[in-house]
């Protein structure tokens, strides 16, 4: 009985029933056969040597595809577990999935893995790979599987939970064997270990079983696997590139900020150039908010604990707050982890009218959150940071229009800083845990959805992920090397107006409760700077660069002229340095390039005589003898702020 196989290009062919993906690939061509690691039958991934007994669509998965790498990495994880079980008798193994760019496996062993252990394991893996052990699939009943894994408590737990979670489908489990090694696995796998051409172990780390810090901490080994040595090398190079962009390193190199150990973890100080960069960003933020009908307010850094009790923070997030200080013998104060209660107090300071709404209060508000010591990461995750924070108080019927304007504003800001790729998450009501009426939630979620659609922003629906007090939109950007960062949050809040009993007078002089929208566009200024630095690898666009041009006099006798040129540029509000140091021209240029200054001007005898300069823009060749007027014009253009 032949079966009819259709291919992704729409063509169809007949094969003997029981044919395999490997045979199909071979029938198409030897190169495909060699590159194949698995197949897809009617969309489901299967092993290359699994027999196909009915008509259907077949797609051959090659090692160079994302699917293929996934399978490669999964198989590499098995080989790693096999190596560890060989080398460390008594080791218990837990789970080992493929992840972005690699894989890991978790083990319980007597002692944590050292770097030397990784070398040993990698060596053993190479042996297993060289032996070209075939991967074979087997279906076991739960009882059989429990026997096979009798001395593996984590596997036993997984087998038992299959029964629970997957209902009828859990009566059998599949396992994969290569030689004596058996692992629970859905598969598919590469046909045999020799297909693993480029595998490298990266590091070991502690990781909790099932991600739960109350359960045993296991030893995780991370590795990576690629279809070829050259792809592996390219990956390692990408890692190195990413490391060069590290904002902590660049912050030091470019003299922007530092993290003095004397201050404590997660607390940065901003040096003059970083301070200037911050100021530029903050000025932009204030200016654009004023232009968008926000009112700027300012509030203190601490408040009585009672305020945080009313807002609910002490009940829900006390562990994220700095501990209290008791003053005047009995009154406890707390550093602020959020700005909202202060803005709410401004709203509530007097009776409000519908005529004032929407009322948009904006503040660059510095907050302090007690982040656990292990999570602090430069500017990206700090214990003190400044939010571009606003709370908008509006009528229920204003929510939709307000959110739409807000999302436009958000995207404008992010585009102004050079980000071009956006994605959003829409987090909706958790049916188990929410306050406010269903009707209000539906309305707000609908408003958020409409705003996303009006802005033409692709979004993922995160159902049930909303906070208990309202739905929200998070906006993510992709940076220059493809990493995703969450920046903006637009959060509808039904709870705080209730907690603080906020009201406004309607046009019929009745009292209604306003709805509140929390929002931060950049999120935290500190983190935003960190992301900008990594996005641009330190080479900030002209309008953000603390130093926009360096003027290099060729010899001391040109310093005076250099100063004159600097004055001309400064009169156009350009930020200029004259490098009058006792160094060669080459060295001074090297410094300016290393510092990523957008423009370098070189002035010598001919320039003094002709009123010109040599102009070297970042990333471009030098132009000699450019008139100072043209230099000014060019730099003004290069350094113009987006608005």
Partner RNA sequence: GCCGGGGUAGCUCAGUCGGUAGAGCGACGCACUCGUAAUGCGUAGGUCACGGGUUCGAUUCCCGUCUCCGGCUCCA
- In the range 26-65, which residues lie near RNA by CB under 7 A? none
Q: Can residue 372 be called a binding residue for RNA (CB under 7 A)? A: yes
Q: Tell me which of 378, 497, 541, 598 binds RNA, using CB under 7 A.
A: 378
Interface region with RNA, contact rule CB under 7 A, candidates 177-185, 325-333, 549-557, 564-572: 549-557
Cβ atoms 521, 551 nearer than 8 A = no
User: Which token pair is 91?
Assistant: 């080791």
- Distance from chain centroid for Cα 538: 18
| Residue 532 · residue 540 · CB < 8 Å | yes
Residue located via tokens 């996303």: 452
Minimum CB–partner distance for residue 213 and RNA (Å): 4
- CA nearest neighbour of 447 among 477, 409, 402, 479: 402
Q: Which ranges of 88-226 does DSSP label H, i.e. alpha helix?
A: 115-130, 142-148, 153-165
Q: Is the alpha carbon torsion for 156, 160, 161, 163 positive or negative?
A: positive
Residue from 117, 389, 398, 607 carrying the catalytic annotation: 389
Binder to RNA among 28, 276, 585, 617 (CB under 7 A)? 585
* Closer of 360 and 597 to RNA (Cβ): 597
- Are the beta carbons of 317 and 369 closer than 8 angstroms? no
Minimal distance in Å, beta carbon 441 to RNA? 17
- Judged by CB, which is closer to RNA: 437, or 581? 581
Report the helix count and the strand count for the chain, using DSSP H and E.
Answer: 20, 35
Residues between 305 and 364 with contacts to RNA, criterion CB under 7 A = 313, 316-317, 320-321, 337-338
Catalytic residue among 387, 404, 496, 595: 387
Q: What is the separation, in whole angstroms, between the first and last Cα of the chain? A: 71
Q: Which is nearer to RNA, 377 or 478 (CB)?
A: 377
Query: 406 phi and psi, to 5 degrees?
Result: -65, -40
Q: Does 584 bind RNA (CB under 7 A)?
A: yes
Contacts to RNA from residues 141-160, by CB under 7 A: none
With respect to RNA, which residue has the nearer C-beta, 68 or 466?
466
Nearest distance from residue 33's CB to RNA, in Å? Answer: 37
Displacement of CA 542 from its chain's centroid (Å): 25
Distance between CA atoms of residues 618 and 13, nearest Å: 57
509 counts as binding RNA under rule CB under 7 A: no
Q: How far is the CB of 248 from RNA (least distance, A)?
A: 5
Annotated catalytic residue 389:
yes
Whether 14 sits among the annotated catalytic residues: the reply is no
Query: 453 is written with which tokens?
Result: 């659609």
Identify whether 343 is a catalytic site residue.
Answer: no
Q: Is 266 in the site for RNA (CB under 7 A)?
A: yes
> Rg of the Cα trace of the chain?
31
Active site residue 472: yes
Backbone angles phi, psi at 414, to 5 degrees: -65, -40
Q: Which residue has the tokens 């200080």?
A: 325
103 - beta bridge partners? 98, 223
Question: Does position 374 bind RNA by CB under 7 A?
Answer: yes
185, 340, 394, 639: which is the annotated catalytic residue?
340
Catalytic annotation, residues = 340, 369, 387, 389, 391, 472, 518
Q: Which residues bind RNA (CB under 7 A)?
A: 112, 114, 203-208, 211-213, 217, 219-220, 222, 248, 252, 259, 261, 264-266, 313, 316-317, 320-321, 337-338, 369-378, 381, 467, 491, 554-557, 581-587, 589-590, 593-594, 600, 602-607, 613-614, 616, 622, 624
């Amino acid at each position: 009985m032949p079966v009819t196989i259709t291919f992704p290009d729409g063509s169809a062919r007949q094969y003997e029933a029981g044919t395999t993906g490997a045979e199909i690939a071979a029938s198409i061509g030897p190169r495909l056969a060699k590159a194949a690691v698995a197949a897809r039958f009617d969309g489901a991934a299967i092993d290359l040597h699994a027999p196909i007994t009915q008509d259907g669509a077949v797609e051959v998965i090659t090692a160079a595809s994302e699917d293929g790498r996934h399978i490669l990495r999964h198989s590499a994880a098995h080989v790693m577990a096999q190596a560890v079980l060989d080398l460390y008798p008594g080791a218990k193994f837990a789970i080992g999935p493929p992840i972005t760019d690699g894989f890991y496996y978790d083990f319980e062993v007597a002692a944590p893995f050292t770097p030397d252990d990784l070398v040993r394991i990698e060596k053993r893996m190479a042996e297993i790979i060289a032996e070209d052990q075939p991967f074979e699939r087997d279906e076991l009943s739960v009882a059989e599987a429990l026997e096979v894994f009798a001395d593996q408590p984590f596997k036993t737990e997984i087998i038992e939970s299959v029964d629970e979670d997957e209902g009828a489908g859990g009566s059998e489990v599949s396992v994969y064997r290569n030689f004596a090694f058996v692992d629970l696995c859905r598969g598919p796998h590469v046909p045999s270990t020799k297909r693993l051409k480029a595998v490298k172990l990266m590091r070991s780390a502690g990781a909790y079983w099932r991600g739960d810090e109350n359960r045993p901490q296991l030893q995780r080994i991370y590795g990576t696997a690629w279809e070829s040595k050259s792809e592996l090398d390219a990956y390692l190079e990408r890692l190195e590139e990413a490391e060069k962009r590290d904002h902590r390193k660049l912050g030091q190199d470019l003299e922007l900020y530092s993290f003095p150990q004397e201050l404590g973890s997660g607390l940065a100080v901003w040096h003059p150039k970083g301070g200037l960069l911050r100021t530029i960003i903050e000025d932009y933020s204030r200016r654009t908010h004023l232009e968008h009908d926000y009112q700027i307010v300012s509030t203190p850094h601490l408040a009585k604990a009672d305020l945080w009790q009313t807002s609910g923070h002490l009940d829900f997030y006390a562990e994220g707050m700095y501990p209290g200080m008791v003053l005047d013998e009995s009154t406890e104060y707390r550093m602020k982890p959020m700005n909202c209660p202060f803005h709410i107090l401004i709203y509530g300071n007097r009776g409000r009218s519908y005529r004032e709404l929407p009322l948009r209060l904006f503040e660059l508000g510095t907050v302090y959150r007690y982040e656990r010591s292990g999570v602090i990461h430069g500017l990206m995750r700090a214990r003190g940071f400044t939010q571009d924070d606003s709370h908008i108080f509006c009528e229920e019927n204003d929510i939709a229009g307000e959110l739409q304007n807000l999302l436009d504003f958000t995207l404008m800001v992010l585009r102004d800083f050079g980000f071009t790729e956006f994605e959003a998450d829409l987090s909706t009501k958790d049916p188990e845990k929410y306050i406010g009426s269903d009707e209000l939630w539906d309305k707000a979620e609908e408003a958020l959805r409409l705003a996303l659609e009006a802005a033409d922003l692709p979004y993922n629906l995160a159902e049930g992920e909303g906070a208990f007090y309202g739905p929200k939109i998070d906006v993510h950007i992709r940076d220059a090397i493809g990493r995703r960062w969450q920046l903006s949050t637009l959060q509808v809040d039904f709870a705080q107006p209730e907690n603080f009993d906020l009201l406004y007078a309607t046009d019929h002089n009745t009292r209604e409760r306003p709805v509140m929208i929390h929002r931060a566009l950049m999120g935290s200024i500190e983190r935003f700077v960190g992301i900008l630095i990594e996005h641009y690898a330190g080479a900030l666009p002209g309008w953000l660069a603390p130093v926009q041009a360096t003027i290099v006099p060729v010899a001391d006798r040109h310093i005076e002229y250099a100063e004159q040129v600097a004055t001309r540029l400064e009169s156009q509000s350009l930020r200029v340095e004259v490098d009058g140091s006792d160094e060669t021209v080459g060295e001074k240029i090297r410094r300016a390039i290393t510092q990523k200054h957008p423009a370098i001007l070189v002035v010598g005898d001919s320039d003094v005589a002709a009123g010109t300069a040599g102009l070297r823009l970042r990333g471009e060749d030098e132009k000699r003898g450019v008139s100072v007027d043209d230099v000014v014009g060019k730099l003004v253009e290069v350094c113009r702020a987006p608005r």
